[in-house]
């Protein structure tokens, strides 16, 4: 079967069946990263021009920063402090040294903010710019997608759909008034490490929102074997997203469910007493219950969630 018709989840299961465990890993394929027995987290991600970023409205420095944010977000989503980032670059032949330098300036700037080292890499020539970034980190107690339990609540940092709002604002060249926070979140989605540092002890299951709330919440439900119920009336939707959805005739709740690449922390906890950390809002958006499936509650009606987020293989969102 062609991979662009089978979707990521099936392909990952196929790969899981092909490789064998040799007892060195605490966490293997299927989470945001793998974890060695000694607590080292390793996670890798690839980003291509025209798919994950656009040079039409982003500088090379912004591209570097954005990809570094996404890579380090996976380390944070394992409950770890980033340590080192290595960079495999596929460059276009005509690129100049100052463009490469700008890319690395962006990567370095984000690494500096997360106290992470750039440890080297590899460079090859391709037809378009591709970055494959691998980050390592360290944690005594990895946070997994599979550790949600009934009677916990579901929380998310920041805003849902804000980065996608920013992406569309740039792509469609909308007037920037009122959309700047969204554009900033798209261009430099800094991982929420300060939230992890402050609240880590309370966090049970953890994932970062890279494929859209609907998909990411489903991952927690499936891997923890619990039912996730989303409180649709409580989703944190930024005024910029409301403004964009109004202008485009979109439903902001569906937009929040399906939009990827916010790189916010989505986690479960028994209880949480703070509503923000360092001005990053933390919102309770649902509950964990015994059972299975992803459900939503809005105005007291319980419904299965049919929306799905972004699939990198079929390259689409299905809003049913």
C-alpha closest to that of 266 among 197, 195, 198: 195
Return all residues near 193 (Cβ < 8 A) that are at least 6 apart.
76, 81, 82, 114
Select 91 or 237, whichever has its Cβ closest to a second copy: 91
Distance CA 132, CA 36 (A): 21
Told to check if 313 binds a second copy by CB under 8 A, we report yes
What is the three-class DSSP state of 127? Answer: coil
Min separation Cβ 218 and a second copy, Å: 19
Select 21 or 320, whichever has its Cβ closest to a second copy: 21
Select 264 or 311, whichever has its Cβ closest to a second copy: 311
C-alpha closest to that of 143 among 100, 81, 215: 81
Select 60 or 295, whichever has its Cβ closest to a second copy: 60
Total residues in contact with a second copy, by rule CB under 8 A: 76
> Residue 277 forms beta bridges with which residues?
280
Select 118 or 250, whichever has its Cβ closest to a second copy: 118
> Residue 29 forms beta bridges with which residues?
31
Select 28 or 239, whichever has its Cβ closest to a second copy: 28
> Residue 288 forms beta bridges with which residues?
228
Task: Out of 9, 44, 146, 281, name the contact with a second copy by CB under 8 A.
Answer: 44
Task: Out of 9, 55, 118, 280, name the contact with a second copy by CB under 8 A.
Answer: 118
Q: Report in angstroms the alpha-carbon separations of 282 from 209, 215, 221, 319.
A: 14, 20, 20, 26
Told to check if 123 binds a second copy by CB under 8 A, we report yes
Select 117 or 147, whichever has its Cβ closest to a second copy: 117
Task: Out of 47, 155, 159, 267, name the contact with a second copy by CB under 8 A.
Answer: 47
Task: Out of 121, 178, 181, 293, name the contact with a second copy by CB under 8 A.
Answer: 121
Which one of the spans 45-53, 140-148, 167-175, 259-267 is the region binding a second copy (CB under 8 A)? 45-53
Q: Report in angstroms the alpha-carbon separations of 40 from 84, 86, 223.
A: 11, 15, 22
> Site map for a second copy, 63-102, x if CB under 8 A?
--------------------xx-xxxxxx-xxxxx--xx-
Pair 320, 306: CB distance under 8 Å: yes
Q: Report in angstroms the alpha-carbon separations of 139 from 26, 36, 94, 234.
A: 12, 10, 41, 32
Min separation Cβ 54 and a second copy, Å: 15
> Site map for a second copy, 11-40, x if CB under 8 A?
x--xx--xxxxx-xx--xxxx-xx-x---x
C-alpha closest to that of 195 among 167, 163, 155, 228: 155
Task: Out of 9, 48, 277, 297, name the contact with a second copy by CB under 8 A.
Answer: 48
Which one of the spans 130-138, 191-199, 230-238, 274-282 is the region binding a second copy (CB under 8 A)? 130-138
């Amino acid at each position: 079967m062609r991979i662009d018709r089978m979707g990521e989840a099936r392909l990952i299961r196929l790969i899981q069946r092909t490789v064998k465990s040799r007892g060195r890993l605490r966490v293997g394929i299927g989470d945001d990263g793998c974890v060695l027995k000694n607590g080292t987290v390793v996670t890798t991600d690839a980003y291509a021009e025209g798919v994950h970023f656009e040079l039409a409205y982003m500088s090379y420095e912004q591209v570097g920063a954005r990809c570094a944010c996404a890579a380090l977000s996976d380390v944070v989503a394992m409950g770890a402090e980033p340590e080192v980032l290595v960079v495999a670059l596929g460059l276009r032949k005509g690129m100049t040294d100052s463009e490469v330098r700008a890319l690395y300036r962006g990567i370095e700037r984000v690494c500096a903010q997360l106290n992470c080292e750039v440890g080297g890499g590899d460079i090859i020539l391709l037809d378009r710019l591709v970055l494959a970034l691998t980050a390592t980190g360290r944690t005594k107690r990895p946070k997994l997608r599979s550790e949600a339990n009934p009677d916990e609540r579901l929380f998310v940092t920041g805003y849902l759909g804000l980065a996608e709002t920013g992406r569309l604002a740039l792509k469609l060249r909308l007037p920037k008034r009122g959309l700047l926070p969204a554009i900033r979140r798209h261009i430099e989605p800094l991982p929420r490490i300060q939230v992890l540092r402050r609240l880590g002890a309370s966090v049970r299951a953890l994932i970062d929102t890279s494929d859209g709330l609907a998909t990411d919440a489903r991952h927690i439900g499936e891997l923890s074997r619990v039912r996730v119920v989303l409180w649709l009336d409580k989703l944190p939707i930024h005024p910029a997203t409301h403004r964009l959805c109004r202008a485009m005739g979109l439903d902001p709740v569906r937009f929040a469910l399906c939009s990827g690449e916010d790189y916010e922390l989505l986690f479960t906890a028994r209880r949480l007493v703070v509503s923000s950390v360092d001005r990053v809002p933390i919102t309770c958006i649902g509950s964990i219950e015994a059972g299975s499936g992803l459900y939503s509650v809005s105005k007291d009606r319980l419904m299965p969630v049919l929306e799905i987020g972004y699939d990198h293989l079929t390259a689409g969102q299905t809003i049913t």
